[in-house]
Amino acid sequence: MTAPIYMDAQITPNRSLSDRGMKVVLGIVIAFNALVALFLLVLHAPVVLPFLGLDVLGIWLALRASARAARRIERVHVTAEVVTVSREDEKGARTIWTSPTAFTRVEVDQPGEHDTRVRLMIHRRRLTVGRTLSPDDRMDFADALREAIRAARNERWS
C-alpha cells in the first residue's frame, strides 16, 4: 500500500510567448530592419546597417534566454513522512531538499508591498519556494501548502 500524497505541485515559469510566437516576433523585427536598411541604403547611409544587425542579434539572444529560463521546474511533494522540493534548472541539474513533515513549517515573508516569499522552514534551514509565481499566487500556494502539511500531520498522528 502506498502512502497518500497530500500535495504534488509542479511550478514552472509562465511563458507568454510560445516558440512559434518567438519566431514570428523575430521575423517581424528582421523584416522591419530590412526595410530600414533599404531606406538607409537609398539615403547613402550604410554606416548604420551593422547596428540593425546588432539589434536583431540582441533580440534573438533575449528571446533565447527567456525560452531557456522557462525550462526551470520546481516540484513540491508532501506526504505524511516527508516534504520534498526538487528543482531542475534549464541545464537539467537537479537540487533536492527534504525535511520531515512533522517539523516543517510554512512562513510567508512580505518585505515589500509587491514582494512575497513563501519559505519552508525546519530549525535553522529554510528554502524559498514558488519564486516564479505572482504574489497573489504565492499566497494561495502558501495556504495550500500549509493545508497539505496540516493534513499530512493529522494522518500521521491519528
- Pick one of 2.30.29.30, 3.90.550.10, 2.60.120.920, 3.40.50.1820 as the CATH number of 5-12+72-157: 2.30.29.30
Q: Provide the grid cell at 136.
A: 497573489
- Give residue 155's pLDDT: 77
Where does the pLDDT of residue 158 fall: very low under 50, low under 70, confident under 90, or very high at 90 and above? low
* Weakest-pLDDT range from 4-13, 94-103, 149-158: 149-158
Report the predicted TM-score, pTM, of the whole model to 2 decimal places.
Answer: 0.74
- Give residue 156's pLDDT: 62
Question: 100-108: which pairs have CB atoms within 8 A and are 24 or more residues apart?
Answer: 101/149, 101/152, 101/153, 101/156, 102/153, 102/156, 104/149, 105/149, 106/142, 106/145, 106/146, 106/149, 108/138, 108/139, 108/142
pLDDT tens digits, 17-49: 888 999 999 999 999 999 999 999 999 888 888
Domain boundaries, the chain: 5-12+72-157, 19-69
Distance CA 37, CA 48 (A): 8
Distance CA 101, CA 89 (A): 25
Distance CA 34, CA 49 (A): 9
